Every structure is written in C-alpha cells, then in structure tokens.
Amino acid sequence: MKDYSPAQPGEERWLDTFRPRDAGELEEVVREAGKTRTPLVPRSSGPRHRSGGSHPRLPEACLVDMREMSGIVRVDRRNRAALLEAGVTFGSLVEELSLAGLRPNMPLCPRDSKSAVASALEREPVIMPRYQWDLVDPLMSLEIVFGTGDRFRAGSGAGPGTLEEQWSSGQAQKSPMGPSQFDPVRLVQGAQGTAGVVTWASLRVEQKPSEERLIFVGSQNLSDLVGLVYRLMHRRLGEECFILNASALASLSKTEPGDIDSFSRSSPAWVLVLGFAGFEWRPKERIDYQLSDAGELMKNLGLESRGSLDGLTSSATREIISRPSGEPYWKDRRLGAGREIFLLTTLDRTEGLAKIMRDAAQKHGYPEELIGVYLQPLLGGRTAHLEFLLPHLPDEEIDALFIDASRALFEAGAYFSRPYGAWADLVWAKDPDMHRAIERIKNIFDPLGIMNPGQMGLGVV
Amino acid sequence: MDPRHTLEDYLNDLKRCCHCSMCKFIPLIQIKNSRYSQVCPAISQKHFHAFCAGGKMHAALALLEGRIEADQDLLDVVYQCSTCGGCDVSCKHNRDLEPLEALFALRAHLVREGVGPLPEHEPILKSIRNYDNVWQQPRQMKGRWAKDLSVKDPRVKDLKKESAEVLYFAGCTFSLQPDLMRVPLDTLGILLEAGVDVGILGSEEPCCASPAFTIGDHDFFMEKAAANIRMFNDLGIKKVVTSCAGCFGVMSGKYPAVEKMDFEVMHAVSYIEELVREGRIKLTQPVRMKVTYHDPCHLGRQSEPYIPWDGKEEKVLNSVVIHEPPKKYRRGTLGVYEAPRAVMRAIPGLELAEMDRIREYAFCCGSGGGVKTAFPQFALNAARERVTEARETGAEALVTACPWCEANLGEALAEGNGGMRLLDFIDLVKIAMGGGSGD
Amino acid sequence: MISEEAYRALEEIVGPDYISRSPVVMDSYTFQFNADNMTGTNWGPFRPWAVILPGSTEEVQAIVKACNEYDVPFKAFSTGWAIMAAPSCEGCLQIDLRRMNNVIEINEENMYAVVEPYVACAVLQAEAMRRGLNCHIHGAGSNASILASATSVCGQGATGVSTSHSNRNLLGVEWVTPAGEVLQLGSVGQNGEWFTGEGPGPSLRGAMRGFLGALGGIGVFTKCAVKLYPWYGPAEPEVEGTSPDYYLEELDRFAGFQVALKDWESFAEFCYKLGEAEIAFTACRNAPVVTLAAMVDSNEAFYELWQAGIMQEIPYSMTVIIDAGSDREFEYRLRVFHDLVDSCKGVIMFASHIKPSYLKYQLRLLNWLRQRLGAVGAARKLARFVPPFGKIIREKGMDHFARTLVSAMIKGHMQARAIFRFGGSFITSFGALETIDNAIAGAKAGIEVKLPYIEKGYLMEDTGDNAWGTLYEQGALMHLEEVAAYDPSDPVAAKGAAEFMGDTIIVSRDRHLGFCFCGFSEVGHGLLSEATSNYRRWLVEIKRAFDPQDVSDGGYYISEGKREVAAGPFGLTEYEEKQPPA
C-alpha cells in the first residue's frame, strides 16, 4: 500500500496549468485535452493541498486551476441558498453571506484558501449536524464539464430552463436530486476529479443567528460525551456540535506551539463544543429553553457545561469556528506539519477506534499525547466523521504509521468513504465489484480517461 | 349482503378497487408491530396477490370480462379463503367498496354456473338438505345434547309444543360435537337460572344454513333461510339466542335480506351481558386466571345487522360517486365486541390480556368459508398463527365464543406444549357463577 | 416466446409453490390503477409471463441471472401499487418481493432501520415508535413499501418538514443489478453496517435513482437502510374510535392546527417563516377538497358540504402539527407558532386544543368570506354549510376534524380515502421539489391547466386546485403536486386525464416550474430532456452500464427499443405537443 504525502507549495510539477475564466474556456480545454489524451487534474483551492486528491500523478498531467472562476453568482436569503463558482473560498463566502443574514454550514476551520465548492464536493464534514439531512449536504446543484467536454447541470439546477429562467419562477437550485431518474450530483461528489471539472455549485446555507451561545462540556471519557451527543441529536438541540480531544482543541484555539502544549495538558481529555442560536422568532427564549433542556440531559449523565476552559472563552471559540483557519493552518500548528486519517463510523464505535489509533501510535513510537482527535457528528447524529490529527515536524516521515494505522482502523470497521491515496487500495480490495461499478460510471463521463487518471484507483495510469 | 345480488351487481366495485393492498393488513393505524400486521390468512399463506381480497376482485372482473376461465386455479383462489371479512374491514376504513360481498357473489356465481363449489363441499350441502346439520348426522341426534336437561328440568320448554319468549338455538356443531356439547347445556342452564322464559327445538332445530351461504349456494341458502324465518315467526318467539357465532352472524347479517323477521337475534354473550347488568346473573366466584379472548369473525365484524339499500348510483362533480339514497356501509365496528369483555371484566380475579389483532380486525381462526373441509392444512396454519399470537399474551387460557373457532384453535393448541387451555366464554361464566373451579 | 426451459430454471430456484403462470394469478398483477389511462380498462397492456416470489437476496440474484441467460425481461415490485409496478412489455417476469418482509434491524442510537422490500411504512413506523423513533411515510400512504419509495419511486410525504424525503433518507443499499451482481452501496459493502449509502468515492446511489426512481428498470433492491427520526410521542399510541373514525389518543406535547391564509402570497410567507422557525412536525398543504374528504364518512356527506361553497373559499390552508421533546420546548414552539400565524394575518380554522382567544380567527375568517362573497353571499353559503357541519360536530365531537387530520398526518393511513374514494382513481403532476415560491407557482399553473379538463367533464370538479404538498427539511424545500381525481371506468375521462398530464409536463417545462413528477419513461424524457441539460443521454449510459442485456423492464425508465414497450408517466403512453393552454 502506498500513499502520497501532501506536497509543499512549489514542489509540484505540472506539464501545464490552465486557468479558465468561464465555462466556455473550460469546455475548450477539456475537448482539446481529449484530442491529445492529456490528463487533466482539476483543483479549486489554494495550497497547501493535503489529501492527495489533486496531485500530479503523471508527468504529462496538466492542472486545471479553477481559481479564476471565483464569483459568488447569487445569494438568496429567502431560500437560504448561494450559488458560487468553483474558486470561491470560505473566507469570501462567509463575508458575503453574512451581509445577507446567512452563514454557511462549514467544516471546522477550513484553510482560508479552501474552495467552498471543493469542500462540498469532497463531502468534508460540517460542524452543524442538525442541518445535514443527507451526506450530500450542503451541496445542492452543480454544473460540470465532463471528461467528454460536455457541459451538464445536475440537481434541480439542471432545469428545465436556464438558471435565469429558473430564478424567474422562484427556484434557487435548492435540490441535489435529479434530474429525472438519476442523481449525477452524487456521481460527481466524492469522485476526486475523475468525472469532470465543476464550474459552479449551489450550496444550502443557514440563517445567521440574532443571538448565540456556546458552551463546553468536558470529560475524561469520550463515551460520556458520545452519550450526551446521542441525546442532543435525538432532541435536535443545538447548532455547532463537535468533540475534540485536548490536543486538537489546543491546536484549534492556540497558535504558538508552547501554548498548544500547555493547553493540551490542562484541558479535559475530551471536550464537546456546543453552540446554541436564536433567530427571528423569540431568539432568547429559544436559547434559554435549549440550554435548559441540554442542561438536564447533561445532569442525567453527570456532566456539566462551562462557558470557558482554562482561559479559552466561548466567544473566542465562536469567533474561531465562524471563520476559516488563520495561519498557520490549525492542523499544522503543533509541530509545523501534519497528516490526518479520517473515516466515517457511528458515534458508538469511536472510542474503540480511538484506542486502535493509540495502539498503532505506540507501536511506531509516536507519542500518544500528540494525536489530535476530532469527532464530528454528521447527518443529525446518525454518522460520525472521526479524524486523527498526526502532527509532525516538516521533514519528518510518518508514512509507516499512517499506513499501519489506516489498515488497523479499516480492519476494525472504519469506513473510508473518501478513499484518498492508500485508502483506495483498502476499499477496492474489500469490494472489487464496487470498484468495477464505479469504473463503469467513470467511463460514462470520461470515456477517454483524461480526468485525473489513476486517482482513487480509477482509470489507467 | 343480499343473497339475491349477482356478481354483476358488484361490477363498479370491482372496477374501482385500486390495488392498494390494504386488504392484506389490519387497518393501518392499528398496526402495533411487524409480526401481527396482517389480517388475511389467505395472502399470509399463499402470497400471490390473487389470494387477497383485491386479487379476488380482479379475478371476478377478469371472469366477467372473459379474460380467464373458471378453472381449477380460479377455484383454488376463490375457495382458499375463510371469508373472514378482515379484508372488508380494512378496505372500508378508506373506501366505500364491498370486497367481502363481492367475494360471496363470486362464489355464488361459480355455483350458479355449475363450476363451484368444490367437491369437498357437496357433502355439507347435502347434509344440510337431508339432516339439517353439516355433520352428516341423523336429524334425531341434534336433540341429544339437551336430552337430560329436558327430562330433568321442566323449565325447559319444548317449542314444538309450547311457546316461550326466547328460543335457545344450539346450532349443529354445538349440538353434535361431543366435546362441545357442554356449551349449549351450560348456556341453557344459565339462562334458566336467570329466569329466562326459554325453549328449544331439539331435534327439530333446523340448520341455519350459514355454510351454504359462505360456500356460495345462495339459492339454497335463501330457500332455507326463508323457511327458518317463517318457522321462527310462527313460533311467536321474541328472541333467538344462540351460542354459535356462525348461526348468529348469518341470522343477524343475512337473514333480514331474505325475509321479514318478527324476532330479535342475539348471541349468548350479549344476552348474558344484559342479564349480568340486570343483576339476574351474579358473577361472584373469583376466577383467578389470565385469559385472552379471540373475537370470532361471525360474532364480530360479520354480525352487523343487515342494512337494506335499494338505490342507485349517481355521479356528481364529473366523477364523484354518490348513492341515492345514501348507502350505509357496514364497516365491522358494530359487531359484538364489548359484551364478552364487559362480562369478563365483571368476573372477579379474571385478567384479560388482549392480543394485538382484536375486535373488528381480529385474525381469523381459519376454519370458516368451507376452508376447514376443503383445505384443512390451510385452516390449521391459520389457527397456528392465531394460537402463536394468543400465547404471546402470556395468558393461561384462550377464550372464544364460536364452535368453529374452538374446534380449529383447539387443534392448533393441542399441537403445542405451551399449556394453554381453550375455553368457551360460557365456561368462565359458569365458574364465576359458582358452577366450577376457578383456579 | 419464452422457453419452457426458462420456466423450469426459475421454478428450480424458488420451488413450485412460489412461481405461477396461472391466468387468474397473472391477471391479479395486470390490474393496476392508471392502467385505464393506457388501455381504457383496468388492465395494463401486458399480462406478466409468470409471477415469482423469491424469499432471499440469493434467490433474487439467481432469478436475475436466469433472466439474463434466457433473455426474459423482469419487473420487480415491493407492495406494487400503480401501473408503474406492472410489466411494460410482453413476456415479462413479475418478481413479487412480498416474502422478503423483515425489519432486519432498528438501530436506535444511530437512528436508522434496515428493511426488506415488503416492509410497509405502517409496519416500520410501529416498530420505530416503540423505540422512540419515527419514519418518513411517503405520499402513497403507510400501506406502501418504504424500500420501494426510497430506492425506486419518489418519496414525498406529509411529515417532510421534519422527516425529509425518501431519496434523502436512504442510507446503505443492497442492489441486485440487472446483470446479476450484488452491490452493497456505502458502508455496508465495507464493514457490514448500514449507516451511510455514500461512497466509497462517488455514490452509486446517484446511479440507482434520482429525484425519481427507476421504477423497476435498473434491477432489484433487496435491502436498504433508511433514516429514522425522533418520535416524542408514546411507544404505542392508543387508537380510539371506530372505523371510519379511528383517532390516535391525545398525545402529550403534540398540537394540530389547520391554518388558513388569505392568499397565495401570505401562504408563501407563512411557509417560509414556519420553515425558518423550525417548530413543525408536519406542515402539509391539503386542498379544500381533500381536507373535506378526509373528515367525512361518505361521498354524500362530502358533496353536501362541498355544495355549500364555503371550503372552496378557504383554499390557502395548511395542516401544521407541532411536537416537542420537553414542556419548555412545546411552550416555546406554540408561542412562536401563534406569532407566525398572527404575523401573516392567518386564521386558525380548527385546532386540537381550542382557546377562547381563537375567536379572533373566526371573526377574521368571517371577514374574509364577507370580502370575497359579499355579506349576503357569505350568509347564504354559511346557512347551507353550518347545518351539515354542525351535524358532524354533534355526532363526532368538536375535536373530530383536528383529531382526524392529526392522526392522518402522523399515521399516513387515509390516503386512499382522500383521493380514491371520489371516483376511483387519480392522476398527479407538477410536484417539482424546489423552493416554496416555485411550488406555489406550480400550484397556480396547475389550476390553469386543469380547468379546461374539468369543463370537458374528464376530471373531478374541484375548483382546479387540488395541490397537495408539504414543506421539507424545515422549509428548505417544498413540493406541490396537482392531483386530479377521475372515474377510471370512463375510458374517455381516463384518456382525458392522461392528456391533462401531458399538458402539465409541457407547462412545467415551458414555464420553468422545476422538474415535474412525470419526468420518467421515454415519453417523459422526450418532453423534458432537451430542456433539462439533455439528461437522457447520460441516463441511457447508466442503463447500458448496468443492464447490458436490457432485461430489467425499462418501460418506466429507459427503453431503447429492444422490446416493444407500452409505458409512460402514470399511463400516458403518447402525447403530441400542441399549443399549451392559454
């Protein structure tokens, strides 16, 4: 099993780079690439790219850099939707939405240069599980240029009619379903650029609160907090909801390595960060009753909430999680660099999987206290994104640990739903029929095999 | 149902069935779990859609339109059905259709065409004609159950010679099945103790002809029913009381369509409930037992009084079907459900644990509709299903008020070693009156 | 002609008890509603060649492989309701999945259930409620299969505001493809757990269905997991009353309301606000004709009240049920609900708990009637309406209307009454799943398209407005479908209903009202694909990729002409574009 380490800026080598300014230019690029069988790798975000989804596998690969297409086409307050081009970053999106009284359901402090569309296409976890009704969310509709060079709109944005015509009848490209009897949004999402290049996507966005509160619930035992989260999800209480271990919270909330070390020692081993909000209708009453009800749930489990943790205030935390990460990127702060192992599971399995990670770390002599753990309930609590942050020095190699731990987690039931790098080998070995089926889908949209060939084990390298 | 109706009279209903499959389930809102969600013994066993009420309606339409022949496959579909009416209850919660009547009309159609009933049913019809019972027993045997009582208790009137207010109608199964004879005997004894002016017909008791109806020989049924009604009218009785759910159901639900009745019909459970309320029966002896009660189809959903309607259909608002005069539908809910429960609640020490499928949506014991005779395994499978459900209540005894239910459920109970007893409703009353052991 | 050898091979798989070619059995599968739109009769165009009842995924796979070997087209269904469940070509094997009826798992903590095809929504709901959970019941009603809705049909439902849509509720899936592979989509293929249907990588859920399912055209789904939702009511709600009036017991912390607004604009406002307030368990729009039908025992009673002419004057109404997980939450939600009604100047027509302050709503309602009808007109109609309405109240109680609607919304058990009881059948159209404003635009267009067909006598006279629909996901989406009742025994009306459906497709396309319900089968694709990113081109490829031998009956999906097919959206097999209605 091999994997790809995230390349440092300047390390990548591309045969050429295309920067289309509109969909028409993009179509030309793809058609021309088809004629010469030139591999294309689409990318919408700025550096530093971590997952290996858009790396130059082949010397003749060309980068399709979508950052020139960075317009926020439409913000629709009434329908809580935003339509944005591929190159729009979270930084600019947050600002624009805020002006309209909206906010995105964001990942936890994404890179400032991270494309919001790319994040949604990658099914990155979002921090407000209550608003996620399907793992597709917040992605709704999209436009893509397939590897055939054909432009296509998916989701309700497909039509009938142009976008303008749809807007005239009150639509907002709000649904990822269809058109008709397939969901091409789902076939593109998670494809790691192997189907085509997305030009724009519509995202579901949420109301901006008029009042907010944020609390911390600490425990030495992850299972206690998991139990609380289950109950909160069943009651549909709260907004932001995620669990970090001390190391991860320290990296998120502090910038200096010394402060990170110190905070990670003083913080409870596990911390649930829980937000509450009130909107237009009786906002304070809403927060009050939700806090009271959540408080009762906590009390039943012998837990307590706090407004601050060793100097980290809830308002400061609110500020942190409402925006993309400052520099350095939080996952790299502890030692200057980092790798992440992330998977899907259910909340009740997380403690067991965390132990497996610790055991793997121990086997490789990796200090357990460095491991950051980020547990994000998804889909209203039905699924959980579990992420292990493995900080390391910039010139340190932790590939062996990464591969070993991945394999051990996989064998313990971890689901690599986003199979980057070495994980693709694991998932396809487990289910070769599925691999063949996904290949068939790829061959529909990219019969010439020019779209990111070899990525995720698809297409001929 | 009016037995004069032909299958063609149901043509509109056959066409308006929408294939929703609700006839397979108990009324949807009543479903409490996955295990006991079905109401139809036929589809539960045979699975092909043809075997549910909707499927049989499609079969009827296909037959009328010449799409299918009246072959053995059709007979299998039509007669592997206990005609329990559970489908009818479920359908009518949402629709104004008559699936059960259509099924009976289909059977009658097949009989009139000379295709039905099944060969296994012929001896039953012959037995009713010749012996006034379904058991091919000589007529004289029908009075045997009451022989001792008639001799010893002068209060028992011989209605061949005397008059009384009440005719106690035993029914052929209770009269002739040795292990069930205690039921009419005890019932009559209880009525006498309550001071009821009651008589019997003994060996002159006719067969109610309910099996003739369910099998589909409606012409014979009408002939027999008319004769019975005239006989009872001539007796000058005010009330017919019977312990047999089959007899009760047909007299209450179908006889009024045939001829005018100058008497009321009651099942013994209702009459006893009335007598308990009036204080004429005293239930003083504790019966320390946990029981569950099986609602017989013919005491429950199929016993609703007949509602005559002789109107026409109209269409309004382009496509809305209304009836002029408005047609009332029997939805199964006016059957006898509360009376046995009220009596059981009044018995000290008795605990009633209800099954999941009860009242108008009770699961059939499986023995009706000629199924026990022609498809005994089918009947037994249905009984097994019901007994399983009964056992899950944790009850020590399964109580019912119908000889057919008792016979079929009894057979299924005897297979298992769960230790559950089978009791007739009257057994409990007798014990509670001090007539037996309550422990 | 399909060979005897094929039959024997299939019989070998399931045993002789579970396969049949007998005409009486075949015809029970040929009869379907909306067949009349095609054939003018109750019978679909093709009788199945045989019907088979598999009992396991292994048997299904073996059957599908045999179909490939012997070139036998097949059409699978679960509860199998409507013409789309029936074969659309000659010589088709009908696969009836009735024997696969298990609720395999209910994972309480992670709030999902794993089911086989013949698990009706009512069954899953009962099992889920015992565990403090609930499931989405789709518009067909709780008698229909939850798996069929999630994998193969559509998925709108009355409680969508809190229980989403079947497409969005689908998690892991077990799929026997037309080629006979068994694919397990999502986590189940990797670790045996069903919690998600996405990935690995892209989601094959995108190939198996879309806004609409493949309606049997892409193989057989033998298991799936669906999301469950919190249920704050009792584990086994008591049912009171007698048929036809079964009611759920009064539920703690549940309150039902029938809210009316003055016009479409304020109706839209109310919907948007209700969605954003996130307080509703149900937010379902039933047109007056359906609201009334659900609450009376008979068509005669319906007609008497309908002729009084009052219900038609209060069309912009919605059934809202508020639930809550705590007393605090309940009180908050009720306060907010009343704030919303008042802010939109709405009326609470009836409620499960009536307060003295609701008198203001009755006065407001009377004022509306006066404004619309004039004082004399309003008085006349009220004089005609009140006596039969009062009779119902006297017989059934003041709370009858509220209890009926609340029970119907929660249990989904009365769909057939609300639409089939009228004349026997119905057809439906529009229904795009997009914004509230778009749904209402569709509802307005629906009235316009329908009126000429009412005038011709084809469709039920329902004022033209029988738009049924609901909010989804706390107002993120809405659908309103234009339902039309008609008499299927009248071949002219049946054909007219189909033509109406064709008109609605054109109008929804040309006025850009979103992708309608009817966008399936070659007829639907023919009318819609070109205006909708030419989607058919890609859909064909998916069909070919998974069904190289074209054995999965694609009449309601994609059919490329290998077999002669008679199929179309709800029975519309052909439609010639004409000038759309003015």
Domain ranges of chain C: 4-96, 103-230, 247-412
Question: C409 — contact with chain B (CB < 8 Å)?
Answer: no
CATH 3.30.43.10 fits C4-96, yes or no: yes
Answer yes or no: are the C-beta atoms of A357 and A410 closer than 8 Å: no
List helix spans (H) across C472-572.
491-510, 521-528, 536-546
Six-digit token pair at B84?
């329990």
User: Rounded CA gap, C213 and C218, in Å?
Assistant: 9
Q: Which of C114, C231, C343, C434 best tests the A interface by mutation, with the highest count of A CBs <10 A?
A: C434
Name the token pair of A424: 């693709």
Which residues on chain C are in Cβ contact (under 8 Å) with A445?
A: 538
Strand partners, C256: C321
| Residue among B111, B80, B106 nearest B220 (CA) | B111
3-state secondary structure of B356: coil
pLDDT for position C179: 98
Query: What is the CB neighbour count within 10 angstroms for residue A131?
Result: 21
Contact C318, C285 (CB under 8 A): yes
What are the two backbone dihedrals, phi and then psi, of residue C474, each rounded to the nearest 5 degrees?
A: 55, 50
Rounded mean pLDDT of B241-249?
Answer: 96
Nearest Cβ partner for B27 among C243, C299, C302? C243
What pLDDT does residue B419 have?
84
Cβ contacts (< 8 Å) between A300 and chain C: which residues?
Answer: none
Q: How far apart are CA B429 and CA A389, in angstroms?
A: 75
Q: Report which of residues C3 and A226 the model is more confident about.
A: A226
User: What is d(CA A193, CA A86) in angstroms, rounded to the nearest whole number?
Assistant: 13
pLDDT tens-digit profile, chain C (582 residues): 578 999 999 999 999 999 999 999 999 999 999 999 999 999 999 999 999 999 999 999 999 999 999 999 999 999 999 999 999 999 999 999 999 999 999 999 999 999 999 999 999 999 999 999 999 999 999 999 999 999 999 999 999 999 999 999 999 999 999 999 999 999 999 999 999 999 999 999 999 999 999 999 999 999 999 999 999 999 999 999 988 899 999 999 999 999 999 999 999 999 999 999 999 999 999 999 999 998 898 999 999 999 999 999 999 999 999 999 999 999 999 999 999 999 999 999 999 988 999 999 999 999 999 999 999 999 999 999 999 999 999 999 988 999 999 999 999 998 888 889 998 899 999 999 999 999 999 999 999 999 999 999 999 999 999 999 999 999 999 999 999 999 998 999 999 999 999 999 999 999 999 999 999 999 999 999 999 999 999 999 999 999 999 999 999 999 988 889 999 888 888 888 875 454
| Chain A residues close to C525, C-beta within 8 Å | 180
CATH topology of domain B122-277: Rossmann fold (3.40.50)
Amino acid A9: pLDDT: 55
Taking residues B393-417, report their average pLDDT.
Answer: 94
Handedness of CA C327, C329, C330, C334 (dihedral sign): positive
**Chain C partners within 8 Å of B329 (Cβ):** 298
The distance of Cα C9 from the centroid of its chain, to the nearest Å, equals: 37
**Alpha-carbon torsion angle B123, B124, B129, B135, nearest 10:** 100
Which chain C residue shows the shortest CA-CA distance from A134? C168
ipTM for this model: 0.96
Spell out the alpha helix ranges (H) of C248-326: 264-277, 288-295, 299-307
CA distances from C202 to A122, A148, A440, C541 (A): 9, 18, 12, 17
Question: Do the domains B122-277 and B283-300+335-439 sit in the same CATH topology, yes or no?
Answer: yes
pLDDT at A12: 81
pLDDT in tens, B142-159: 988 888 776 678 888 999
Domain ranges of chain B: 1-116, 122-277, 283-300+335-439
Q: β-pairing, A312-313 with A308-309? A: antiparallel
What's the confidence (pLDDT) of residue C424?
Answer: 87
Distance from CA of A156 to the nearest CA of C (A): 7
Q: Using the beta-carbon criterion (under 8 Å), do C422 and B12 form an inter-chain contact? A: no
Residue A4 has pLDDT above 80, yes or no: no
DSSP letter for C64, please. H
Kindly report the number of other CB atoms within 10 A of residue A173's CB atom: 31
Among B325, B101, B90, B15, residue whose Cα is nearest residue C423: B15
The rounded mean pLDDT for chain A is 95
- pLDDT at position A161 over 80: yes
DSSP 8-state symbol, B364: P
B-contacting chains (≥3 CB pairs under 8 Å): C
B39/B140: higher pLDDT? B39
Half-sphere exposure of B220 (CA within 13 A, CB side): 24
Q: What CATH number was assigned to the domain covering residues C103-230?
A: 3.30.465.10
Q: Do chains B and A touch (3 or more CB pairs under 8 A)?
A: no
Mean pLDDT on A14-27: 95
Pick the CATH number of B283-300+335-439 from 1.10.3720.10, 3.30.230.10, 3.40.50.1860, 3.40.50.620: 3.40.50.1860
- Please judge whether C485 and B77 are an interchain contact, meaning their C-beta atoms are less than 8 angstroms apart: no
Across B360-379, average pLDDT? 97
User: Chain-wide mean pLDDT for chain B?
Assistant: 95
Q: Would you tell me the crossing angle of helices B53-64 and B99-112 to the nearest 10 degrees?
A: 40
Specify the pLDDT at position A57. 82
In angstroms, what separates the C-alpha of B59 from chain C's closest C-alpha? 6
